Amino acid sequence: MIKASEITAIVLAAGKSSRMGEQKLLLPWGKRSVLGQVIWTIRTAGVKDVLVIVGGYRELIETEAARWRAQPVINPAFEQGEMLSSVQTGIRFLPGTTQYCLIALGDNPQIETRVVKKMLTKIIGEPDETKPKILMPSFQMRRGHPWLIQRDWWSEILSIEPPETLRDFFRRVNAEISYLEVDTPSIIRDLDTPEDYKQESPGSTMRLV
């Protein structure tokens, strides 16, 4: 049986926010920052150990992660701008007691606590022979974030080398992926441009930095 304490979240926050024109993870999101909202949602759902993978705007992101009681972890290869290197960085830093990692996007503050809780329910307390090894949420046949990945697959992810990507990995192990159908498009949204932020933001105009 897996316990909540054996799940660690990896929040991918090492990007340079080049299309946004400023560090998008520090923009206000209601009463929190974008990054703060992601961490708050994950912790509220029941995952207490949260790693934040940092690269661009390193000191600012480290400070914001610490503010929300998450542990910053530096991705030395963030300049390449690929998700793979950040996921690999996070996996290498996982505690030995961790059995599943929850991989979330730092620029996806739209994710909902209820969705993460439903995902955790598929893992926590279920017999080992029935729980999924890889679990992804899906909205109208489109898979989104966050992902839950059991430790059996970590070594294979760590062995991936460019030009292969995570997309290639998931295509290769497609038969092993389980999907949780959800009724919200929040799992497929993120923030890349000022237009995205203007459309998706709860409405705060205050700047945190």
Split into its structural domains, the chain has a count of 1
Structural domain includes residue 111: yes
Note whether 90 and 73 are within 8 A (CB). yes
Higher-scoring residue by pLDDT: 128, 158: 158
* Cut 0.85: pTM above it: yes
Calculate what percentage of the chain has a pLDDT beyond 90. Answer: 82
- Sign of the four-CA dihedral 115, 29, 60, 105: positive
pLDDT band with cut points at 50, 70 and 90 for residue 81: low
Calculate what percentage of the chain has a pLDDT beyond 70. Answer: 96
Structural domain includes residue 208: no
Segment 55-75 shows an average pLDDT of: 95
Q: What is the pLDDT of residue 180?
A: 97
Structural domain of 94? 4-200
Confidence check: pLDDT of 17 > 90: no
Confidence check: pLDDT of 152 > 50: yes
CATH of residue 120: 3.90.550.10
Segment 73-94 shows an average pLDDT of: 91
Structural domain includes residue 98: yes
- Sign of the four-CA dihedral 23, 203, 198, 200: positive
Phi, psi of 148 (to 5 degrees): -115, 125
Note whether 70 and 93 are within 8 A (CB). no
Instruction: Give the least confident one: 74-83, 86-95, 110-119.
Output: 74-83
Q: Locate tokens 């998450």: which residue?
A: 70
pLDDT tens for 40-52 read 999 999 999 999 9
Structural domain includes residue 154: yes
List own/partner pairs for 172-178 with CB under 8 A and 24 or more apart.
173/134, 176/133, 176/134, 177/132, 177/134, 177/135, 177/136, 178/122, 178/132, 178/133, 178/134, 178/135, 178/136
Q: Angle between the 34-45 and 113-121 helix axes, to the nearest 10 degrees?
A: 40
The three-state secondary structure class of 11 is strand
Structural domain includes residue 180: yes
From 139, 144, 130, 117, select the one nearest 7 (Cα to Cα): 117
Structural domain includes residue 206: no
Q: What is the overall mean pLDDT for the chain?
A: 92
Nearest-angstrom CA–CA distance, 156 and 63: 32
Q: What is the pLDDT of residue 207?
A: 39
Structural domain includes residue 207: no
Nearest-angstrom CA–CA distance, 43 and 46: 5
Structural domain includes residue 183: yes
